[in-house]
Chain A
């Protein structure tokens, strides 16, 4: 994460955004307070529509929830820039993390850069929801629950209707599976009903939503799931 436009404050200096006038001991904030935010990871293969889903969720929920977003695009800040251009969220609520050619590492094996980004957002804005968008990766790339509280795995209908049947950690284990771009099914010969049945079989009761974010940009079902999880999180708190 780069913040090159600010002066070097020195290692002992509190982050200027963090200053609390009532706090005489800023160093005693280590590690940072967890905040109230529900952290939701959004992962899935390249081109499945993760960024479009993030933008749609920001539009659907932005007026009722305090939101922030961390992007992990493999190519620099492209996803963050897309979100800024879409003006779905104030600039300072979107942070891009560089992942050194290894998007799955940054969300699973070494989550430190993403944790730093999330905690900076939590401390500055105290959001109710932080969306962490993974860089596009493969079917085995899932989020560590050290980084997120829930995860959504997104598939592209045109990426092959046998993908749900194959399962894998993302398809089988994600808290919500989204099969996106169902409008393309007739064009690519994909059997959406079979995808739904296969997903139900490998997911052992966890929910699946079939949709097209492009043709149904209100993302009503997904936004409803996120809204419910935020409410549940507010009652129950973070997973152990």
Chain B
């Protein structure tokens, strides 16, 4: 259970730019690949253990590393490079950095910390999330759980807004995805904590689902998109 002071980070009303992202759902939906709530469930079942695992593990690692005193700042460059290497599509790296920048902006107001500056101006969203969770008093497991929660929330919310799906049916999909995602969260928290403990970003897991990543490129280049990703 996430600690109460972290609930705001789980709340989609926290202004961090996430409302304009569909986490790949729009690109799949506009090509007819996602039409029903069952399709959304399938999309999440594919993305949570892959892209979700990576972002959750990187968030967990960043949370473990981010809780360091200001006089010994974290050297984020290797971690930044590791997340980039595991995000093979430039469009999604850009999406990640845009969301990381937005999250940091809000976090500076909500949970002030000297630890943010070392991340740079446009950090990957996963790394920013981990450091923000640390600043808010959360654990690496919290960071991993929030990363998966954000992914599922963006997908489901976009399905409601784009496809006019029954929001109640999608609530069931959402709840099931989060329950199923618990295993990913646990795996990510362990992997991220281990990588941080060893100061070795190479230990971060790498997993991908190629089709949504390719579609992300087309989405970013194409016209007629409502969501930023």
- Report which A residues bind B (CB closer than 8 A): 1-4, 7-15, 27-31, 74-77, 97-102, 105-106, 109-113, 115-116
Contact = CB atoms under 8 A, between A and B. Distances in A.
Contact of A10 (B80, B90, B98): B80
Interface stretch (B102-110, B143-151, B200-208): B102-110
Given A4-B221, A10-B77, A11-B97, A100 B228 contact: yes
Q: Is the interface of A mostly helix, strand, loop or mixed?
A: loop
29 contacts: A2-B94, A2-B228, A4-B90, A4-B221, A7-B90, A8-B93, A10-B77, A11-B97, A11-B119, A11-B124, A12-B80, A12-B120, A14-B121, A15-B122, A31-B108, A74-B226, A76-B223, A97-B228, A98-B227, A100-B19, A100-B158, A101-B161, A102-B19, A105-B19, A109-B15, A110-B19, A113-B17, A116-B17, A116-B101
Interface string B17-35: 1111110000000000000
Given A4-B91, A30-B117, A101 B162 contact: yes
A204 to B, nearest CB: 29
Nearest to B223: A76
Given A4-B91, A11-B80, A113 B116 contact: no
B220 A10 contact: no
A11 B122 contact: yes
Contacts of B104: 30
A164 B94 CA distance: 43
A18 to B, nearest CB: 8
A7 B90 CA distance: 8
Nearest to B18: A110
A69 to B, nearest CB: 18
Interface in B208-229: 220-221, 223-228
A110 B20 CA distance: 9
Contacts of B120: 10-13, 27
Interface centre among A12, A13, A15 (most CB of B within 10 A): A12
B100 interface: yes
B81 interface: yes
Nearest to A12: B120
A57 to B, nearest CB: 26
